[in-house]
Amino acid sequence: MSAERILIVDDEEAIREVVSTLLTAQGYQCKTAPNGEEAIRAMREGGFDLVLSDLVMPGVDGLKLIEMVRGYDADIPVIMVTAMHDISTAIEAMRRGAYDYILKPFEKEQLFLSVRRALEHRRLIYENRLYQQELERRVEERTLQLSQALEELEQSYDYTLEALASALDLKDAETEGHCQRVTAMTIVMARAMGVGEAELRQIARGAFLHDIGKMGIPDSILRKPGPLTPEETTIMRTHCDIGYQVLERIPFLREASEIVLSHQEKFDGSGYPRNLKGDQIPLGARVFAVADTLDAMISDRPYRKALPLDQAKDEIRRHAGSQFDPRVVEVFDTIPDTVWVELRQNYQKPFHDYETKAQ
């Protein structure tokens, strides 16, 4: 380790030489300057760890030198050495940033002690800064690692959701691809409404899994070709509660589960299972309701052919305020028909790809 460097500033040559000799004998590298101007020039040429300066000097005095040193490097401690026994001057020196104040004549041990303490103070500042920088680097590194891990986890979640939807498609072939299509449509409308990315992801998951509760509905009801009886309708309607009970126990799907529970609610309160009304219905469920109805009307069903897009849009407008949130319908109306046509044609793309595409 190289010796610490000390700059000694005094207009009296004898004092400069004595102090330099004493400190050099202690293992320090010393350089002297006869005034403040020379001291600043010396500091520009090479770094110093400590400055010892006289207080009263012609031109730039010790107090002014303190300010100039701190402007050059605020971490360099300055020790004032003076014959002035004036407490107010000492206080002023400290106020301007002096580390210590030594009165002439001084004992060499007093000088050594003050120098050691000042240099130790500088070392602590330097080590603390290095520690902070290393800590910040590690935090940044760990944050990046955590971000990458979370991203991988999110992708894993989405693959899991795709697997769930695929299982539902096998059980209810009539609506194959419906989950993907309605999710894409919901994302487009929610984004147009200014929904933030975190909430958008939860809405997308809720839309994608809206019918997951049908896994608990008997095939005899789910695949029945004709109209359901009142009793069968009651059983079919339990799919909202079933889906909610499955998802709300999964931490990353807890918010999405509210959309699953509420996706059959209507804006006027005539829906099920809780007869929620207006803003009581989660926003994601209100957006989903429009997307779900649109996809159902422009898709072929065994009992009817798909409706033209313009006719389906008219039907949605007609039910604004009753079945649908009027604000959602307004946003729906601003989206070009080409968007719905493209999403309808590309429904095979997986859930996580839709999120990227909708961006």
CATH superfamily of the 172-358 domain:
Hypothetical protein af1432 (1.10.3210.10)
Domain boundaries, the chain: 5-131, 172-358
Rounded to an integer, what is the distance from CA 147 to the centroid of its chain? 9
Strand order from edge to edge, sheet including 100-103: 29-33, 5-9, 50-54, 78-82, 100-103
Q: Which fold has domain 5-131?
A: Rossmann fold (3.40.50)
SS3 of residue 39 by DSSP: helix
- Ordered per-residue pLDDT tens for the chain, 359 residues: 578 899 999 888 988 899 999 999 999 999 999 988 888 888 887 788 999 988 888 888 888 888 888 878 888 899 988 877 667 777 788 888 888 888 878 888 989 999 999 999 888 888 888 888 888 888 888 878 877 776 776 666 666 666 666 666 655 555 567 888 899 999 999 999 999 988 998 999 899 889 888 888 888 888 887 889 999 999 999 999 999 998 888 888 889 999 999 999 999 999 999 999 999 999 999 999 999 999 989 987 666 788 999 999 999 999 999 999 999 999 999 999 999 988 887 765 545 444 444 44
Rounded to an integer, what is the distance from CA 247 to the centroid of its chain? 26
Closest-CA residue to 287 (of 141, 188, 156): 188
Helix pair angle (283-297, 197-208), 10° resolution:
50
SS3 of residue 113 by DSSP: helix
Sequence-separated (6 or more) residues with CB below 8 Å from residue 4 = 28, 29, 49, 50, 119
